[in-house]
A and B are shown apart, each in its own frame.
Chain A
Amino acid sequence: MVKRGKLEIMRDILKLIKENKNFIKPTPLLRKSGLSSTGFKEYYSELLKRNLIREITDKNQDKQVVLTERGFRFLERYNSIIDFIEDFDL
């Protein structure tokens, strides 16, 4: 199995949220991400810190994760970012 890069993992997590109608609980997100609990925590807090995702509380007082505008923009620009990195060998 090919090891995913950091940006690729971030893209995958954001994509999972988007595909779930931009509304998912952290536990199913962890399960679907295919990461270890520690790895997921690291990425999750980084995504929060970078303002790509945010946490909201639904009417049942459950924590849900949604994409921010920046998160959507990241998904939109992901291919060109990767293309740029590869092209300039960065």
Chain B
Amino acid sequence: MVPFITGRAIAGNQMISNFLSGMFGLEVLYSCVIIICSLMIYYATKEMYELSSYKGIKYFRQAFLFFAIAYFFRSFIKLVLIYFNAEGILEFSPRIFGVFTLFIFMYFSFMAIFYLLYSVMWKKWNGNSRKIYLFHILAFVVSTIIISLRNPFIYLGLNFFLLIIIVFIVYTAYKSTKNKTKGHNLYAVYLLLFIFWILNILNVLIPRFFQNLQLLIYLASSGIFLMILYKVLKKVGN
């Protein structure tokens, strides 16, 4: 006798097979690597900050804490998309759930980048901590614009605009840095981190855009975080 299979059961099987597919495993593994790396950087530098109360270390640590939070929400969004077989989080229903998660993800993403940037720039900007509030406002406004307009291409444009500003600031910082040999690798790593971060966010907003390059983006991003973690642990262990 042929078993009776309902449409719902087929959809359920589809979800399970999606869940068990390589995509799910890859997402979980990738997110775990980044979240663990970020939290390890955050906790490894805890004592250094507590002893010195040095602002640069504070901003550096906060950047990685924000990376961990942002990646947590990023993986959450990706898992929701995989689970419900949805095309993009902006089209996801119930909409309020998708919009809220995406907003948190966007906000922490921007703050992570801004804090990392500020950790190298705060002295050059005369230690003016008011800029931090400006960054919070900027992150809030940009995230709100993206959520309200629901257009990934506006997001793409905004990010490229931000990337140009960041490249300019990092280049200026590199030019004024005293220790060029030490600074050179660091600024290159930070630039790569910014670029791959944007690609990662694009990957969340327009999943089809990078379908074939996903593995490459994941490997490169993990490599950058592991490299920073290695550098941090080497220094902290000394």
Contacts and interface: CB of A to CB of B under 8 A. Distances in A.
Interface residues of A, number: 18
Interface string A78-90: 0111011111111
A84 B233 CA distance: 10
B238 interface: yes
B57 A83 contact: no
11 contacts: A70-B51, A74-B51, A80-B238, A81-B51, A83-B238, A84-B45, A84-B48, A84-B57, A86-B182, A88-B231, A90-B120
Interface string B170-191: 0001000101001100110000
Contact of B179 (A70, A84, A86): A86
Contact of B120 (A79, A80, A84, A89): A89
B235 A90 contact: no
Interface in A57-73: 70, 73
Q: Interface majority SS on B: helix, strand, loop or mixed?
A: helix
Contacts of A81: 48, 51-52, 54, 57
Q: Interface majority SS on A: helix, strand, loop or mixed?
A: helix
A7 B238 contact: no
B207 interface: no
A77 interface: yes
Contacts of A74: 51-52
A41 interface: no
